[in-house]
Amino acid sequence: MIINFEEIYLKGKNQKIFIKQLIRNLKRKLIDYQDYLSFSKSHGGSYFIEIIQEIPENVLQEIIYKVRNTPGITGFYVADTSGISMAEIIEAAVSHAEKQAPNYDSFAVISKRINKSVPFNSMEIGRQVGHAILKKLDKKVDLTRSDFKIYIKVRGKYTIIYSEIISGIGGLPVGTSGKAIAMLSGGIDSPVSTFMAMNRGLHITAAHFHSVPKTSPQSIEKVKMLVQKLTDYQGQIKLYLIPVLEIQEAIAQKTDSRLRLILLRRIMLKIGERLAAEEKAKALITGDSLGQVASQTLENMAATEDATDMLVLRPLVALDKKFIIEKAKNIGTYDISILPHDDACALFTPKSPETKAQLKYVREQCAKLDLEKLIEQALERMELQLISDRTPIENI
């Protein structure tokens, strides 16, 4: 199996660090398959994972799934290898073509000679391999519109033969941009923003605020399912579950009802800041998207963000809902997000929430709360779960 990473390859001086991190991430993700695999050194923009023993098709498919969902990988292929004599190349290419035979009618051979010292050129490889495949299998050669292309690359001491290039999700390896805390609700948006942050190299710890027992424990299960899905990309994610019912009650009792959501969000950010200190994270991530709901205005975002000195990143800020939904379907979180749940916030959403919060007034209202005590209480009752791509979903 050969893996390419174009963007990292372009990273110049940092390239080594990025590749090292990517390989560390890959090894961890593939730890359950290590009997089948041997990891080799990277050269050029490629990295090789050798398949060292007969591998059942379903296991190979699992490995392919893990590799294609690893941030930092632009594309890869599962290749056969052979020696560099014409006889060896022909034998391996015919056997490769034969394995795929039910899937195509016409084929083309695309060959390249990187090792120029072999006594034949790439045209000759194409001609001889094409001829051998024609003789063995009942297929047509079609150089322009074939439905099967077989690529042959003669390198230094070996030849690589492959047919399908599988695209990866690209981006940067998780961990190369540092750490961040992702504020994860059970909705559609925040799992997407969390994914996008991971895909830019951030190592994520998730924080979810809930109102159990006022809301059902199912809503927490749903968030765990979302995090489990996101471990397809990061491998292992810490999830903090923070009870906010008492905070909501204090807000409802003491402050202007129009500001309830903003005040709660401010406290969420403050708690996020405490978690960030614990996790050595340098940013908070939210799924806010400008204007998506009446309350996601610039004024409200500013009044919320005022609660923290930390960098707050909003990967979805300028994206249309349609695009976000498409992305959610793409990364596999959408079907989980649309499961019914009761939102911690929905319960205490006022009839007419503020859409243009005035900072001075928000601060005044916030000052009515015993913030330190409320935050301490919530942190004391907070739970931590470690969710991994190796934990079967039914066990969490």
With CB under 6 A as the contact rule, the residue among 286, 300, 333, 365 that binds ligand ATP is 286
Closer residue to Mg ion in complex, CB, 70/185: 185
Residues 202-231 that bind ligand ATP (CB under 6 A): 207-209
Could you tell me the smallest distance in angstroms from the CB atom of residue 283 to Mg ion? 20
Rounded to a whole number of angstroms, the minimum distance from the CB of residue 187 to ligand ATP is 2
The yes or no reply on residue 187 touching Mg ion (CB under 5 A) is yes
Comparing CB distances to Mg ion, the nearer of 113 and 341 is 341
- The verdict on 328 binding ligand ATP (CB under 6 A) reads no
201 binds, among ligand ATP, Mg ion, none (CB under 5 to 8 A by kind): none
The radius of gyration computed from the CA coordinates of the chain, to the nearest angstrom, equals 26
Q: Is residue 292 involved in binding Mg ion (CB under 5 A)?
A: no
- 288/354 with CB nearer ligand ATP: 288
- CA dihedral 27→30→34→36, nearest 10 degrees, is -120
128 counts as binding ligand ATP under rule CB under 6 A: no
Q: Does 288 interact with ligand ATP (rule: CB under 6 A)?
A: yes
Which one of ligand ATP, Mg ion, none interacts with residue 190, CB within 5 to 8 A by kind? ligand ATP
Contact of residue 87 among ligand ATP, Mg ion, none (CB under 5-8 Å per partner type): none
Size of residue set near ligand ATP by CB under 6 A: 18
Chain length of the chain:
396
Question: Which segment (63-71, 132-140, 181-189, 303-311) binds Mg ion by CB under 5 A?
Answer: 181-189
Stretch that binds Mg ion, among 18-26, 72-80, 185-193, 355-363 (CB under 5 A): 185-193
Which of 185, 205, 215, 300 forms a contact with ligand ATP (CB under 6 A)? 185
Q: Which residue has 């795929």 as its token pair?
A: 100
Instruction: Name every residue whose Cβ is closer than 8 Å to that of residue 387 and which is 6 or more positions away in sequence.
Output: 224, 227, 228, 231, 236, 237, 238, 239, 396
Binding of residue 185 to Mg ion (CB under 5 A): yes
Q: Which residues bind Mg ion (CB under 5 A)?
A: 185, 187
Q: Which residues bind ligand ATP (CB under 6 A)?
A: 183-185, 187-190, 207-209, 268, 286-288, 292-293, 344-345
